[in-house]
Structure 1
Amino acid sequence: MTGGARVGDDRVTIPFDGRRIDIEIAWVRPEHAHRTDRPLVVFLHEGLGSVSMWRDYPRMLCEAGDLRGLVLSRYGYGRSTPRPHDEKWGADFMHRQAREALPALFDALEIGPGRRHGKPWLLGHSDGGSIALIHAASFPDAVAGLIVLAPHIVVEDISVRSIAETRRAYLETDLRTRLARYHDDVDSAFWGWNDIWLDPAFRQWDLRPLLPAIACPVLAVQGEDDAYGTMAQIEGIHRYAPRASLLKLARCGHSPHRDQPARLTEAAVDFITTHT
């Protein structure tokens, strides 16, 4: 444990941006946490996600593959430290999560090469998938593999349109009330994500130059009915990341783990087993 980090039963205090923040965590199948011979999967949530919004999927996957799992809520989400309402995130917000916050958390929990829990697998959804890609490109020797669900590598028009519609729903429907069940400060979670995605400056955001640096195997998954991105996202990963494989799912929207959990689990377990 380094950098003044502190670990509790469901919180880890880490240094970030010149201060100390709390990160909500939950171990999946904690009774098996000591089995360091089994792969560890770290679940990275979507732009409005949290520990609780994964529901039962982490356990479903870990039981199917006899895996260990760790779920976390990023800064600003779930039961983690909320983002102050006057703090505006920049276009590098996912890079900062991948290069600063996630390494600090892994240091605190002894995750990584030569440490207690070894190299992790990262399973990221949407923004969490993008963060997984950035982390693996930035620390190519530190990750065993990636499974990215509906990740973003560029900003598409379809993404901006759907995120603008989500903003309308947050202001005019019961979406805010429904999301409030999953976040200590729902406005912190929503506006941190929504404001930057709809900022015109964010249209230049592009992960493609980073992808060739990813050394680990990557399974990139996209639903054919995704309202937040097209197949160009995972096809770009396949083009630029050296060891990428694709899974395209019919009858599936932006959340493969909700829309096609059995098919995704089968593919993910097979991919992890093959590359372990």
Structure 2
Amino acid sequence: MLSGGAVETRWIGPPPDRASTLVFLHEGLGAIGMWRDFPDRLAARTGMGALVYSRFGYGGSDACALPRPLGYMHDEAAGPLPELLDAFAVERAVLFGHSDGGSIALIHAGDRPHPSLRALALEAAHVFVEDVSVASIAAAKEAYESADLRARLARHHGDNVDCAFRGWNDAWLDPAFRAWNLEAFLPAIRVPALVIQGRDDEYGTARQVDAIAAGMGGRAETLMLDACGHSPHRDQPDRVIAAVAGFLERHAIGG
């Protein structure tokens, strides 16, 4: 239970006083179940614990108010995320963020990072809005309203399905969101980061990776994956697990 309500959580592996903790931040339509077994596999490979949670308005967590503010990722980075780290007494955290979750991780690391923060592992994170992003998000709206996307998402979000989809989709398609930009947060990030993206990502281009790597105050490593779309942990799980494990070993972060 956080100050804003109840959030759905799952803990994997050793407790935070025995190992570092992977904290999984899901995408704009994600939830605990949509990670499948990836957190279990990465935790087992690294010997780390893992904290997986659904943000407010997603999965089995309490609902959120709509419309979401255009700064909803900033709000998550400054409020529920550090509060959750405190609630679970996380001592050494590695934020593993996918898409919106990656952007939340960058904001958190570049603004008021939790004392436990040690590293970032990012998949398909955005720091600005591209035409390809807007086009794909508009296509998702069409699929939600006239195809089977709502039914498929409802399997993971239940009564939160409209909150999850509209909160994300309406914000990104708001014309004012075109000015959204996180590059000012990057120079203040001092922890190492691994930045991963698929070459076939339908929501963003390699410009996102280049901007993050160039702007980071700390060391950034990049990995572009062939035959891979917006979700590297689903399209290329073995490559992602090996890359993250190697990155953490190089920085002496692990179980």
The reply to whether TM is greater than 0.5 is yes
TM-superposed CA distance for 1:124, in Å, is 0.3
Deviations 1:147-206 (A, max 9, x none): 000000001000000000000000111111110010132011110100000000000000
In the aligned structure 2, how far is the partner of 1:42 from the partner of 1:65? Answer: 13
Residue in structure 2 matching 1:252, options 214, 218, 228? 228
The separation in 2 between residues aligned to 1:188 and 1:38, in whole angstroms, is 35
Equivalent positions of 1:137-156 (< 5 A) are: 137-140=110-113, 141-156=115-130
Check whether the contact 1:129–1:152 (CA below 8 A) recurs between aligned residues: yes
Equivalence for 1:186: 161
Shift of 1:37: 3.7
Q: Give the aligned CA root-mean-square deviation in angstroms.
A: 1.1
Counterpart CA distance in 1 for 2:32 and 2:144 is: 21
CA distance in 2, matches of 1:229, 1:221: 12
CA shift at 1:45, angstroms?
0.2
Q: Distance in 2 between matches of 1:106 and 1:147?
A: 17
Paired residue for 2:9? 25
Q: CA deviation at 1:33?
A: 2.2
Structure 2 match to 1:129: 102
Mapping of 1:88-237 within 5 angstroms? 88-111=67-90, 118-140=91-113, 141-184=115-158, 185-237=160-212
Task: Please give the alpha-carbon distance, in whole angstroms, between the structure 2 residues aligned to 1:38 and 1:102.
Answer: 19
Normalising by structure 2, report the TM-score. 0.95
SS in 1 for 2:157: coil
Q: Please give the secondary structure, in 2, of the residue aligned with 1:239.
A: helix
Corresponding residue for residue 241 of structure 1? 216
Q: Tell me the TM-score normalized by structure 1.
A: 0.88
Q: List runs of 5+ in structure 1 lacking aligned partners.
A: 1-12, 112-117
Give the paired residue count.
249
The answer (yes or no) to whether the contact 1:46–1:124 under 8 Å persists in 2 is yes
* Paired amino acid for 1:38: A
Deviation at 1:38, TM superposition (A): 2.2
1:273 to 245, 249, 253: 249
1:181, 1:82 → 2: CA distance?
16
Q: State the Cα distance separating 1:271 from its structure 2 match.
A: 0.6
**Code of the aligned partner of 1:33:** P
Query: What residue identity is the alignment partner of 1:182?
Result: H
Unpaired runs of 5+ residues, structure 2, are none
CA deviations on 1:188-237 (whole Å, 9 max, x unpaired) are 11101000000000000000011000010000001000000000001100
Higher helix share: 2
Cα shift at 1:131: 0.3
Conserved? CA contact 1:40–1:67, under 8 Å = yes
Q: Which amino acid aligns with 1:226?
A: D
**Partner in structure 2 of residue 79 of structure 1:** 60
